[in-house]
Amino acid sequence: MTNMSRAVQGDVREIYLDYNATTPLAPEVLESIYDALANSWGNPSSSHHQGVKAKSVISTARHWIAKMVGGKDEDIVITSGGTESNALVFNSCIEHYRRLYPKSDQLPHIVTSNLEHDSVMLTVEEMRANGKIELTVVTASHGSGKVSPTSVVSALRPNTIGISIMYANNETGVIQPLQEISHVVKTWSKANCSHQILVHTDAAQAIGKIPVNVNTLSVDYLTIVGHKFYGPRIGALYARQPAKVTPVYPMLFGGGQERNFRPGTENTGMIAGLGKAAELVCKHISDYHEHMKTVRDYLEQQLELAFPGHVTFNGQYAESERIPNTCNVSFKGYNLKGYRIMKRLKWTLASIGSACHSEDLDKPSPILLAIGIPDDLAGNALRLSIGRETSKQDIDIVIADLRAAIATLTDEQDKQ
């Protein structure tokens, strides 16, 4: 595999450290997409050999996607991406509650956290505003960056139908205690509800970095996002025995594809790429994890050496685990806003937080504020996320780039 963390432009070698925003296509993935588009271009619903060929490609991809998360082939519903998968979960929870209690005047209740991606938070807020749900947002602990199982249980009500807590945070990398949350929610549900409370996790940032197993996590739904693990920009939803055990109700209606859960003629090429990306994860997750953690730890060590006493790592808690590739660092100093540092970096491509908030350059990350990071430090944060082929030599270039950028900003401040 060629090194994708670098791109040579004249005498400048760019170092890409924004893998939590998106990843490039792995060469094997690109090859599988091309092969499917060139050789398996038939409609998967057609009965002739070209249709059968395309259907086989999709079946193989579905198998690897399921295996990657510990599910069964029939548990996987292909979607356009994480946003659609998350919306499909909430739509299904609401429709399930309506069918369980057709005469009830009480709205279904959803619980989520203040750490969630916009594709979760904005969706449930819109549903609440439109009178479709009641909503409780539990807060993460300032001492751990995690949502506690106790706070989730405290939010439950007899009309609670769904819980949605992300698996790993996209800005801090902190891994949430999903297994414990699932256990306490299901225990409470059996004792206090006449229905099952459905547990969902958006695993976009976890897949490809740590092992993900739906059985260990005991979740009912899990969101899969291809472009976070070197796959194409489509996704999938894991649902445990959809329509049999776990409700899945379509948002779209059409030709019956995806067992009517998500109709529309299948995008065979992109599905093939998603399957190949999942296969790579299945075969190499230990190597990916070890390499990214080694380089991320080296990055943090070098930051401390280069800026002694002037950096703080957001999300680095003694009692919390992080995904192995994520470093969220704040530089102490009045003129060292994250976006100002980024503007002066010559070689490093990074972000100040979620790519979805990239237009709000002068605003501290709401995720960092949610876990108790002070405004001044939150505003000075950079998110540096490692890829599969990021090297220690790349990190050395980044450190030199940061030194120069911060020296420039410090000089500018001194002259004012």
Catalytic site positions:
356
Angle at 309 between CA 307 and CA 313, to 5 degrees: 80
CA atoms within 13 A on the CB side of 88: 36
**Amino acid making up residue 273:** G
CA pair distance 210, 126, nearest whole angstrom:
32
Residue 199 pairs with which residues in a beta bridge? Answer: 163
Contact 124, 200 (CB under 8 A): no
Beta strands, E only, 308-378: 311-313, 326-331, 348-349
Q: 């993460």: which residue's tokens?
A: 140
The end-to-end CA distance of the chain, in Å, is 48
Three-state secondary structure call for residue 195: coil
DSSP 47-92: -SHHHHHHHHHHHHHHHHHHHHHT--GGGEEEESSHHHHHHHHHHH
Three-state secondary structure call for residue 416: coil
Phi, psi of 278 (to 5 degrees): -65, -40
CA pair distance 48, 59, nearest whole angstrom:
16
Phi, psi of 70 (to 5 degrees): 80, 20
The sign of the torsion formed by the CA atoms of 332, 389, 225, 205 equals: negative
The order of strands in the sheet holding 134-138 is 76-79, 235-239, 221-225, 198-202, 160-164, 109-113, 134-138
DSSP 201-235: EE-TTTTTTS---HHHHT-SEEEEEGGGTTS-S-E
In eight-state DSSP terms, residue 262 is: S
